[in-house]
Amino acid sequence: MYTTKGKLLILPRLCLGIFGEAEVGGAVYKMSPSKDKQKVKKQQALQQEFQSIAKRQKPKPPLLRNVCVAYAVGGLICVIGQAISKFYTTLGFSAEDAGSPTVATLILIAAVLTGLGIYDVIGQFAGAGAAVPVTGFANSVVSAAIEFKREGLVLGVGAKMFSLAGPVLVYGTVTAFVVGIIKACLR
């Protein structure tokens, strides 16, 4: 310890602990290598202790509630989609042809709700129930476009809009292609 008239000099000790050396009155004091190893071991032990305490104190997620809410909200989105599909059939579309405008309408609704900040609230409440349907895909595209809007239309919105949705499109397209080839070969 460095003392001056019985008082502990905290700053040099702190510098010694952080940087491994300290200067007091023109003299440079260095921490010995064995103390460095001891310090590292002590820090690792403290980190492990902290992580174990944090793990014990972390609240458990309400799994049953989350599953039920996701199921209910995802089902509600599907019911809305079914109602939109029925609306298009009353306009003269066949049941098969009503699928495309139904999906487009759901995407439009999700995009508008995302732009207004409402879909984010729904997503926080419902979790996967709002993320899995096509509306979640629309939310991911529009959210990225809004986030990077300040970087410009080309390098911001255009380049980053599909940052999250891009892999979904790529793997979806590749999977559809592979399944189509397998189906054609089996005929």
Q: The tokens of 44 are what? A: 């690792």
Per-residue pLDDT tens digits for 85-100: 999 999 999 989 999 9
Per-residue pLDDT tens digits for 142-178: 877 777 777 777 777 777 776 766 777 788 889 999 9
The domains of the chain are located at: 3-57, 63-186
Instruction: Specify the pTM.
Output: 0.58
Q: How far apart are CA 85 and CA 105, in angstroms?
A: 9
> 161 near 154, Cβ under 8 Å?
no
